[in-house]
Chains A and B, each alone.
Chain A
Amino acid sequence: MTVLLSVQGVTKQFGGLQALTQVTFDLPQGQILGLIGPNGAGKTTLFNVINGVYRPEVGRIIFRDKDVTGVKSYDLAHMGMARTHQIVRPLNELTVRENVMVGACFGRENHNLSKAAGIADEVMEFVGLDTRADQMASSLNVAQKKRLEMARALASHPYLILLDEVLAGLNSSEIDGMIQTVRKIREQGITIIMIEHLMKAMMNISDRIIVLDYGEQIADGTPNEIANNSRVIEAYLGDSNLANQLLEEE
């Protein structure tokens, strides 16, 4: 399997805060990689470093065999990397279709407006926003805005898509719908890294999971390995022996 993305020893500091320490992994093409960890573990920071929003102090990012460390996010978009935002960032005063067209126009394939409109229609149907196409993006509810984020990213026909908490804030039927959508994205051959707090969904959907805690990569493995890893349990619940003791006492 070819490696699509390689993160090599990435370290990022904000002032005195060590946000990421020596994060290293290879991502083969076609994999769904889950990124989990307690709040403040550095998950979104890692996305921002991969995506060119921040430049790491140490380490390198290799994307499709090119060193892209410190490359601007718009250049990465042209190379085929797309992302969604944890806190949705709709282009409020533009219609849903125009929002999606921005992705198609300026992303990897660099389409003209009429071609982009066609792609936007396809993608909106794919994520289930086709009935909202001519509405202002500001009029969507949270679940729809999350889908809009996804549609914009998909419209660029990326090789890699970074999904930052697309399930957060959704109700259970919306979550099921979204998980189906993520699976369908993978079927199109797009590689996915996703950050999520919902363990059940994550265990279910990921091929592999990496756990971050205080910016350190404490585990990397299949969902099953992660669920039984004592360091992961400790990061989430505190002392794992203590947790077991408490369970036994009950």
Chain B
Amino acid sequence: MKQLKNIGLWVSLLAVIVLGIGPIVSRSPSLRESIFIILQVIVLAASLNILLGFTGYVSFGHVVFFGLGGYVGLYLISVQNWPLWSAALAGGLTSGLLAFLLGKAILRLRGAYFALATIGINEAVRAFVNNFDPFGGPIGMTLNFKVYSNYGGAANALWMTYYVILALALLAVILNFVIKNSKFGLGLMAIREDEDAAEVMGVVTPDAKTWAFVLSAILPGIIGALFFFKNGNIEPGDAFRLDYSIEMLVIVMLGGQGSVLGPILGAAGYEGLRDFLLTSPLFKNIQLSVAGALLLVIVLFIPAGAVGWLRKRVPILRKVLA
């Protein structure tokens, strides 16, 4: 395989491993929790990158796949007594199915109209779940503590989810890399650059866009199930947070949309910044405004994000940064 020789892939995987190994070495639960959040953000951002970075479609409501996966996963674990693994997988597949069904309909829209439609879908699913009794309606669902005993107790279960999310983060990076270097990915990037021209050249745009949407939805669904399993409960307000969606956009754009390393850099950078803001007395209440300002600055001055900026300024890095 020629692609295995690509340094860029290994740099990106190494970045995730360096980030993820700390808690495993130190066995510190608090470090584990903060890295868990960063790894989760890497998976979500890398998934969004498939749609935003490669295909050029801005989704403001991508958190819907995370929330839906969480609900389906928790429902299967707590009510149907499914094991976590199959429940998480079912959460991912449900999100993928939703993306498939929505894809054909809303991916006909372009630009701002598509972005608006994604917000609408997130709100619609939230409203549905709010009134859907099997999912606990507005109260949501709480996992019985006894469930964790199937996984060797709560402490063990938390470590186990950590290993899984680390593996998923690596998987997300590999998925990004494989798509970027495939024929499918070339078609997506052609759509991003000029959808009409891509169509004239023979890219079957409705199918390509739909599959990109589906691929960008599955991992967030799995992550949702994992996160809310760890969390122990789920509510509509936590599962379908629009601001979380917008943070994902900021992260992808900060790191560099359309690059493999971008979501990793963006996630680490943004989460680092957020930790600082939340603990600083001056910014702790306005950390989202800072995210908004950051998005504005990126869009205006470095639209290619950190990776794009580095590749442009330091040509030697082009081989290293995928």
Contact = CB atoms under 8 A, between A and B. Distances in A.
Interface in B192-210: 192-194, 196-205
Contacts of B200: 51, 53, 73-74, 77, 82-83, 85
A72 B204 CA distance: 9
Contacts of A241: none
Contacts of B194: 89-91
A23 B200 CA distance: 22
Contacts of A91: 189-190, 193-194, 197-198
A152 B193 contact: no
A107 B186 contact: no
Contacts of B182: 113
Interface in A62-92: 72-74, 77-78, 82-83, 85, 89-92
Given A74-B204, A77-B200, A106 B187 contact: yes
Contact of A77 (B181, B189, B193, B201): B201
B201 A102 contact: yes
A154 to B, nearest CB: 11
**From B190, B202, B204, residue with most partner A Cβ within 10 Å:** B202
Interface in A98-113: 98, 101-103, 105-108, 112-113
Contacts of A57: none
B181 to A, nearest CB: 8
Contact of B201 (A92, A107, A113): A107
A93 B186 CA distance: 12
Nearest to B258: A93
Contacts of B183: 105, 112-113, 116
Interface in A140-162: 152-153, 156
Contacts of A153: 201
Interface residues of B, number: 21
A137 to B, nearest CB: 8
Given A112-B183, A113-B183, A102 B190 contact: yes
A94 interface: yes
A74 B196 contact: no
Contact of A74 (B181, B192, B203, B258): B203
Nearest to A72: B199
B201 A106 contact: yes
B179 to A, nearest CB: 12
Nearest to A155: B201
Contact of B193 (A85, A94, A103, A105): A94
A161 B166 CA distance: 50
Given A89-B194, A91-B194, A93-B193, A73 B186 contact: no
Interface in B166-190: 181-183, 186-187, 189-190
A94 B190 contact: yes
